[in-house]
Amino acid sequence: MRLFRFGKTLWLLALLLVLPLGVPPAGPAGAADSAVASVPARVSFAIPAVTEEQQASELPNILVIGTGGTISGQSADETSFQTYRAGSLPIGDMVAALPNLDWIADVNTFQFGNKGSGSYTIPELYDLSLAVDQGLQDYDGVVVTTGTDTMEEIGYFLDLTIRSQKPVVITGSMRPWTVIGSDAPANLFNAIKLAASGKTARFGVVLMLNDEIHSIREVTKTNTYRLDTFQSPMLGILGYIDESRVRIYRVPARALKPDDEWATPFDLRKITKDQLAKVEIVYSYQGAGGEAIRAFVEAGAKGIVTAGTGAGGISAAMREERDKAIQKGVVFVSTSRTGSGSVYGSGEGILAGDNLNPAHARILLLLILSFTDDFETIQEWFAKYGVPEVPERLPQKSGS
């Protein structure tokens, strides 16, 4: 039976009614100068429609959105594991090369961009999030391919902004598509399989790499080259894929929330790209100076994440500059550089990062400051959406 099919025909008709005549669809990444960029509600992407044949099929419809990265890399030769050009192969060609795909899903593709993950700007992630949500109006799930360098940040941005509860899987690879022993085809195939299974609906964005399924909030890249680079410190994986078996052994707390509490306040249709806040990260170390904090404040940062020693400690010079910045209205989040563990210390103008790593904490603070400058609301949202604990009372089924 087809999974998660929600009024596709009605949505397509509604889209035709709301899109103004004469406004061309926005292109892929890099279209920040488009005339529609400042009107979020009218942004539309040239995502392929589900065909009549696909609608009639019993298989789930999955959209794969390609953004580039190592997974679409072209190597210098078949044994050049680290010598390659990322973002070279079109996502349509990659999906077409996968064997037995028609066993698990009907798949269409959309080329959002084709470059390394670290080259994407926050305004481009704004576009990517809207593109994913547009795809989820008509498809049963979406797979996003990207580079692994900033995959956790791209995925967490999507996790916090996508409005649909349908499955969204982000994947990539540590080896380019064209080398022997590449993990790229297997990762892409398994990501499509996971999205088609429907088992991660309501999870938000999950990461699928190396046959393992991770919560995007918790996962981080831990090694420059190894295939098992992505780990979820302290908390571990959600599950894994073994051939036809998709095993889920734990769920994120978000999946247990009732429908009226599931979505975050970060609806990108309500803001424009120029409202996206500037948030930076500073790193503490022995005798660290405060110049970085001062420079970021002078450059217009509304928020700064400190990657502190131990449980969030920073140097005396950094504390002095932090105090000055707080008086100017800059909001700080205290996190740890250790790679795991929680930070609980907070105070005037300072939020505790809990167990978010600095990169994740920056994404959350950036979105919060894009929607409010009220510190009480900032505190509330950071605690609610940054620390999604299991509810005291789980949702009950009717009649139970």
Catalytic position from the list 51, 67, 70, 150: 70
| One domain for residues 291 and 163 | no
Q: pLDDT tens digit string along 21-66?
A: 333 333 333 333 333 334 455 578 999 999 999 999 999 999 999 9
| One domain for residues 238 and 336 | no
**367 lies in some domain:** yes
Please state, as a whole number, how many other Cβ atoms lie within 10 Å of the Cβ of residue 73. 26
| One domain for residues 225 and 311 | no
Select the more confidently predicted residue: 383 or 16.
Answer: 383
Average pLDDT, the chain: 90
Residue that finishes a domain, picked among 206, 239, 262? 262
Cβ neighbours for 283, distance < 8 A, ≥ 6 positions apart: 307, 337, 358
**30 lies in some domain:** no
Q: pLDDT tens digit string along 144-167?
A: 999 999 999 999 999 999 999 999
Please indicate whether residue 70 is annotated as part of the active site.
yes
| One domain for residues 101 and 179 | yes
Cβ neighbours for 168, distance < 8 A, ≥ 6 positions apart: 132, 136, 141, 142, 143, 144, 158, 159, 162, 195, 200, 204, 205, 206
Q: CA-to-CA distance for 23 and 28, rounded, in angstroms?
A: 15
Give me the amino acid identity at 115. Answer: K
Residue that finishes a domain, picked among 262, 292, 307? 262
**162 lies in some domain:** yes
**331 lies in some domain:** yes
**289 lies in some domain:** yes
Q: CA-to-CA distance for 262 and 395, rounded, in angstroms?
A: 12
* pLDDT of residue 20 exceeding 60: no
* pLDDT of residue 4 exceeding 90: no
The 8 Å CB, 24+ separation contacts for 325-332 are 325/293, 325/294, 325/297, 325/349, 326/350, 328/297, 329/302, 329/373, 330/297, 330/301, 330/302, 330/303, 330/304, 331/302, 331/303, 331/304, 331/365, 331/369, 331/375, 331/378, 332/303, 332/304, 332/305, 332/306
- Model pLDDT, residue 31: 35
- Model pLDDT, residue 67: 98
* Confidence tier at 181 by pLDDT (50, 70, 90): very high
| One domain for residues 247 and 284 | no
Q: pLDDT tens digit string along 308-364?
A: 999 999 999 999 999 999 999 999 999 999 999 999 988 999 999 999 999 999 999
**137 lies in some domain:** yes
pTM for the structure as a whole: 0.88
Residue that has been written with the tokens 């790499």 in this structure: 209
**186 lies in some domain:** yes
| One domain for residues 58 and 171 | yes
Residue 1's alpha-carbon distances to 51, 135, 197, in angstroms, are: 17, 20, 11
Q: CA-to-CA distance for 389 and 102, rounded, in angstroms?
A: 38
* Number of domains the chain contains: 2
* pLDDT of residue 2 exceeding 90: no
Share of the chain above pLDDT 90, in %: 85
Residue 118's alpha-carbon distances to 125, 149, 207, in angstroms, are: 11, 6, 17
Q: Which residues of 110-140 are buried (b: 16+ CB within 10 A; e: fewer)?
A: bbbbbbbbebbebebbbbbbbbbbbbbbbbb
CATH number where 357 lies: 3.40.50.40
- Model pLDDT, residue 335: 97
Residue that finishes a domain, picked among 232, 262, 292? 262
Q: CA-to-CA distance for 246 and 312, rounded, in angstroms?
A: 38
| One domain for residues 306 and 344 | yes
* pLDDT of residue 12 exceeding 80: no
The tokens describing 108, both together, are 């269409």
Q: pLDDT tens digit string along 218-252?
A: 999 999 999 999 999 999 999 999 999 999 999 99
**38 lies in some domain:** no
Q: CA-to-CA distance for 171 and 168, rounded, in angstroms?
A: 10
CA dihedral 154, 221, 84, 87 (to 10 degrees): -10
| One domain for residues 207 and 69 | yes
* Confidence tier at 389 by pLDDT (50, 70, 90): confident
The tokens describing 97, both together, are 């090369």
Q: What angle do CA 139, 140, 145 make, to 5 degrees?
A: 75
* Confidence tier at 392 by pLDDT (50, 70, 90): confident
Residue that has been written with the tokens 């398994």 in this structure: 190
| One domain for residues 59 and 165 | yes
The tokens describing 25, both together, are 């669809």
| One domain for residues 55 and 157 | yes
Residue 95: closest CA among 168, 145, 148, 154: 145
Q: pLDDT tens digit string along 250-289?
A: 999 999 999 999 999 999 999 999 999 999 999 999 999 9
Q: CA-to-CA distance for 118 and 149, rounded, in angstroms?
A: 6
| One domain for residues 146 and 224 | yes
The tokens describing 233, both together, are 């410190």
| One domain for residues 221 and 301 | no
Domain that holds residue 310: 277-386
Q: pLDDT tens digit string along 73-97?
A: 999 999 999 999 999 999 999 999 9
Select the more confidently predicted residue: 381 or 5.
Answer: 381
CATH number where 186 lies: 3.40.50.1170
Handedness of CA 240, 244, 248, 252 (dihedral sign): positive
